[in-house]
Structure 1
Amino acid sequence: MRARFCSLFRTGGVLAFTLMMAGMGLDAHAQTRITYKSALAGTAYHQMGSELANVIRQGSDDAIVLTNEESQGSVQNVQEVMTRQGRYVFTAPPALVAQAVAGEGAFAGHEDERFAAIRGLFPMPSLTMHFVMAGDDGTASFDALRGQHVLIGRGTFSAGEAARYFQLFGLEGRVRLADASITNGPEALREGLIDAFVTASSYPTPNVIETASLVPITLISLTAEQIAQTGAVPQVIPGGTYPGIAQPTHTTSRPVIAYTTEQMDAETAYRLTKLFWEQKARLAEQAAWWAGVTPDLLAHMTTPLHPGALRYYDEVGTDLPVHVR
Structure 2
Amino acid sequence: MKIRCITAAVLLAATAALPAQAETRVTYKSAKTASSYYQMGVQIAEAMQEASGGEISVTVEESQGSVQNVMEVRARGADYVFTTPPALVGLAQGGKAMFEGKGDPAFDEIRALFPIPSLTMHFVMSRDSGATGFADMAGKTILLGKGSFGAREGEKYLELFGIADQVNIADVELSNAVPALKNGQIDGFVTSGSWPAPNVVEAAASTGVTILSLSDEEIARTERARLVIPAGTYAGQEADITTTSLPVVAFTTTRMDDETAYLLTKTYWEEKDRMAEAAKWWAGVDTGLMENITGKIHPGAVRYYEEAGIALTDAQK
Q: Is the 8 A contact 2:111 2:254 kept in 1?
A: yes
User: In 2 relative to 1, CA 133–80 (structure 1 residues): closer, same or farther, beyond 3 Å?
Assistant: farther
Aligned partner (choices 91, 109, 118) of residue 83 of structure 2: 91
Q: Is the 8 A contact 2:144 2:154 kept in 1?
A: no
Answering whether residue 134 of structure 2 is matched by residue 142 of structure 1, we say yes
Output the amino acid matched with 2:147: R
Q: TM-score, normalization: structure 2?
A: 0.80
- Unmatched tracts of structure 1, length 5 or more: 22-27
Once the two structures are superposed, the pairs formed by residues 252-291 of structure 1 within 5 Å of their partners are 252-291=244-283
| Aligned equivalent of 2:221 | 229
| Residues 159-190 of structure 1 deviation map (CA, whole Å, 9 limit, x = unaligned) | 44334323321244555667887555445655
Task: For 1:185 and 1:322, locate their aligned partners in 2 and report how far apart those are by CA, in whole Å.
Answer: 44
Task: For 1:15 and 1:111, locate their aligned partners in 2 and report how far apart those are by CA, in whole Å.
Answer: 49
Give the number of equivalent residue pairs.
Answer: 314
| Aligned equivalent of 1:12 | 12
Q: Is the 8 A contact 1:32 1:64 kept in 2?
A: yes
| Aligned equivalent of 1:24 | none
Aligned partner (choices 295, 299, 304) of residue 291 of structure 2: 299
Once the two structures are superposed, the pairs formed by residues 108-187 of structure 1 within 5 Å of their partners are 108-137=100-129, 140-146=132-138, 148-156=141-149, 158-172=150-164, 175=167, 182-183=174-175, 185-186=177-178
What's the CA shift for 1:122?
Answer: 1.1
The DSSP-based 3-state class of the residue aligned with 1:250 is: strand
Output the amino acid matched with 2:245: S
The percent identity for this pair of structures is: 47
| Aligned equivalent of 1:53 | 45
Q: Is the 8 A contact 2:131 2:137 kept in 1?
A: no
User: In 2 relative to 1, CA 239–55 (structure 1 residues): closer, same or farther, beyond 3 Å?
Assistant: same
Output the amino acid matched with 1:133: M
- Unmatched tracts of structure 2, length 5 or more: none
Q: RMSD across aligned C-alpha pairs, in angstroms?
A: 3.5
| Aligned equivalent of 2:211 | 219
Output the amino acid matched with 1:60: S
Aligned partner (choices 66, 72, 89) of residue 58 of structure 2: 66
User: In 2 relative to 1, CA 73–166 (structure 1 residues): closer, same or farther, beyond 3 Å?
Assistant: farther
Q: TM-score, normalization: structure 1?
A: 0.78
